[in-house]
């Protein structure tokens, strides 16, 4: 049983990504696809475990070949799957993902409904959630009931048990009925999070302003927060804490596939925070933690696929030393 002081529990979706065998083509043009395990919350859990941390995943999979495969991948990567349940009536979610020649990602999702959307409050492993030092989640689980209600209840259980709440909206507009609905629902739980990470695209989507200036970012700040982060891809990250703020550059690497780099960043940062929670109040310690997380994200972008690319602590420290 993991030490609750360091356990990161990740909640939400795990699915199969189908990725074209050829780069830079649209989904329609792709000659063939290979399957890759995905889902941001699951990636975060595996990132934590790969770095030597304690991680667990809470979510619902289909009682099918893909669902059993994903649960096995969690276990093989050292993630506690005690929060995973299976649905006999719905399939494991699938997503076709490609990086087009213009650099834009294109998604096509098969989830009408998929098992992850059908997670119910009574499916929750309450004891596991109560052991979390950090409870991490995204916004895809807010799209529809019953999963939305289960998500809100899980947050409540974790908060009452003393966990820090970590939120990465991980915007996927194609899954929402409308942009307005996405914005409203993503912001509906904003005030409850202790740690929030957004990308620059999400910053613009949520504020309606195309700017990285501090006054724009601060529109997303809440007095209840301990840390707000804006990731800037290969440019690094801006951070905002209660008593200080700043920016930490990333590491120059040869990018191959950025899938999962943001999840690697989040997993690495949460790993450092549970190891030393005082870093949320100490600027020097926080910058070291973000530097570590930036290195983790950078390494993940140098290889294909999210989960196979997630680095070990040794690999991250080697990159930092070389820089």
Q: What are phi and psi of 83, to 5 degrees?
A: -100, 5
- Whether 263 is catalytic is yes
Q: Which of 81, 116, 257, 263 is labelled catalytic?
A: 263
Which residues of 88-222 form beta strands (DSSP E)? 94-99, 105-110, 134-137, 164-167, 195-199
Instruction: Judge whether 4 and 129 are in contact, CB under 8 Å.
Output: no
The residues facing 16 across adjacent strands are 37, 94
Phi–psi pair at 20, nearest 5 degrees: -60, 145
Rounded (5°) CA angle 217-220-224: 125
Full 3-state SS string of 267-284: HHHHHHHHHCHHHHCCHH
- CA dist 104 → 23, 67, 98, 101, 107 (Å): 12, 29, 8, 7, 10
CB of 64 closer than 8 Å to CB of 30: no
Backbone φ, ψ for residue 12 (5° rounding): 140, -135
Active site residues: 263
């Amino acid at each position: 049983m993991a030490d609750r002081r360091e356990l990161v529990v990740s909640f939400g979706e795990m699915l199969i990504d189908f990725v074209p065998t050829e780069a830079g083509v649209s989904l329609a043009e792709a000659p063939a696809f290979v399957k890759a395990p995905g889902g941001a919350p699951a990636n975060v859990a595996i990132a934590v475990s790969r770095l030597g941390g304690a991680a667990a995943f809470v979510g619902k999979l289909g009682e099918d070949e893909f669902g059993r495969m994903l649960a096995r991948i969690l276990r093989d990567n050292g993630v506690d799957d005690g929060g995973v349940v299976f649905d006999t009536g719905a399939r494991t979610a699938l997503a076709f993902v490609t990086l087009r020649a213009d650099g834009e990602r294109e998604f096509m999702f098969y989830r009408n409904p998929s098992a992850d959307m059908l997670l119910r409050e009574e499916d929750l492993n309450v004891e596991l959630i109560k052991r979390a030092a950090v409870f991490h989640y995204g916004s895809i689980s807010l799209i529809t009931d019953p999963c939305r209600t289960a998500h809100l209840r899980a947050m409540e259980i974790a908060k009452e048990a003393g966990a820090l709440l970590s939120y990465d909206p991980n915007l996927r507009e194609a899954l929402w009925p409308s942009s307005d609905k996405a914005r409203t629902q993503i912001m509906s739980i904003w005030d409850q999070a202790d740690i929030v990470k957004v990308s620059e695209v999400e910053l613009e989507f949520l504020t309606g302003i195309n700017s990285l200036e501090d006054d724009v970012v601060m529109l997303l700040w809440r007095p209840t927060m301990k840390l707000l982060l804006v990731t800037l891809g290969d440019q690094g990250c801006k951070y905002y804490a209660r008593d200080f703020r700043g920016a930490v550059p990333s590491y120059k690497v040869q990018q191959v596939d950025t899938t999962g780099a943001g999840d690697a960043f989040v997993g690495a940062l949460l790993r450092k925070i549970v190891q030393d929670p005082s870093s949320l109040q100490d600027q020097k310690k926080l910058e070291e933690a973000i530097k570590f997380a930036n290195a983790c994200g950078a390494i993940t972008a140098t290889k294909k696929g999210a989960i196979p690319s997630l680095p070990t602590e040794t690999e991250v420290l080697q990159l930092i030393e070389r820089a």
